[in-house]
Structure formats: structure tokens, C-alpha cells
Amino acid sequence: MGKFLLGVIFTLIVLVLIVLGVAMLGMAPTTANVEPPHWERHLAMSAVDNSMDRHAPRVSNPLTPTDANLEDGMKLYTMNCAQCHGGLDRKPSTLANSFYPPPPNLVSDPPDDPEWHIFFTIRTGVRYTGMPAWDKTLTEQEMWKITTFLSHMDKLPPAVQEYWKTSFNPAPATEEPKPEEKKEGKDKEKHDHH
């Protein structure tokens, strides 16, 4: 049993040295303008989520989602986040494709993480992604306002929806057809061809 365990440890050390050697010899790709492979994206996102779960304090949002806080969150998002994460006009960021991995478009695909997770991401950033830590640029209240907006984006009060519409002129959200609509469309296509 001792020889087997020693063999496993030796194999792991050799694998680590090979990976380090490949990296240090410049054999690992470093370009940022390519799409990450699925396995790498999955591994990285799992690592980020697990790190957040382990390190982020489970703090409650001190702000209530009032119209004023949500509108302030929109403005702060536009000034600080839209360049990478997509604008409130629903247009994707052209800069997003220059990151590795590309940042998520938070307007077309709002985060479904708890508020403590979103706040911690904004405050501390995420290593090796281009996501900066905002704690030295924004106040804690400003970071919470962005968090409040992002976590309530799909359930905004009518007055805030109107503010968004009049202030940022969003393009219509493209909705994916419901499964039954897709099926009806295919059935109609088959019928039209006969």
C-alpha cells in the first residue's frame, strides 16, 4: 500500500512539473481574443462559484429596492460596468470579445446569484478574468446600488421600467420562442411543404 501511495504522489508531482514546464516554456496559448473551450469555461466558473461560496460573507443588502436606488444603480452600471458587460440599450459590448473569457452580458442574461455573491464579485473582482475590484473606486453604497439593480432587473417597478425606456432607449428584448411555438412552427412548415 505504501508503494502504491508513493507512486500516486510521484505521478502527481511529475504531472504538475510537466504543466509548469509547458507554461514556463511559452507553449501554453495566451491570446485573449478567442473563445475558451467548454471544459475550461466550466472549470473556471465552478472554481469562481466555489470560491465565492467559501470566502464571500453572507451579508444582507442594506438598501431597499426603491425607485431611486434602482435608477441610481442603472446610472452607476452604465458609467462603470456597461463597457464590458453590455449597455442598457441592450447592445452587446464590443470590448467583451477582447477578454478571455468574455464577460457575461448582464443585461441580456441577468445574474441569478444571491445579492451577497454579486456584491462580493463587484467589491473584490475576479482574478484572471479582467473583472476589477471596485472597492477602491466606488463607495460601498454605490456597489450595493449596482447589486440591487442587477438582482431586480427582471422585476423592476413600472416607474423604473419607464425610466429605463426613456433614458436608455433599449432595443426590444429578443425572446426565444416557447417550445410549443417552435413545435407549431415546425408542424406548419411540414404542412406547407406537402
Q: What is the CATH number of the domain that holds 135?
A: 1.10.760.10
* Per-residue pLDDT at 181: 46
124: in domain: yes
Is 78 contained in some domain? yes
pLDDT-derived band at 77, boundaries 50, 70, 90 = very high
User: Which residues are 126's β-sheet partners?
Assistant: 131
- Residue span of the structural domain in which 95 resides: 66-172
CA 106 – CA 96 distance, rounded (Å): 11
Here the cell at position 33 is 481574443
Q: Quick check: is 45 in a domain?
A: no
Q: Does residue 6 have a pLDDT over 60?
A: yes
Flag whether 126 is in a domain: yes
Residue 175 has pLDDT above 70, yes or no: no
Count: domains in the chain: 1
Burial class (CB in 10 A: 0-12, 13-18, 19+), 73: buried
Q: Which pLDDT belongs to residue 33?
A: 75
DSSP structure class, residue 151: H
Output 176 or 143, whichever has higher pLDDT.
Answer: 143
Q: Is residue 188 in some structural domain?
A: no
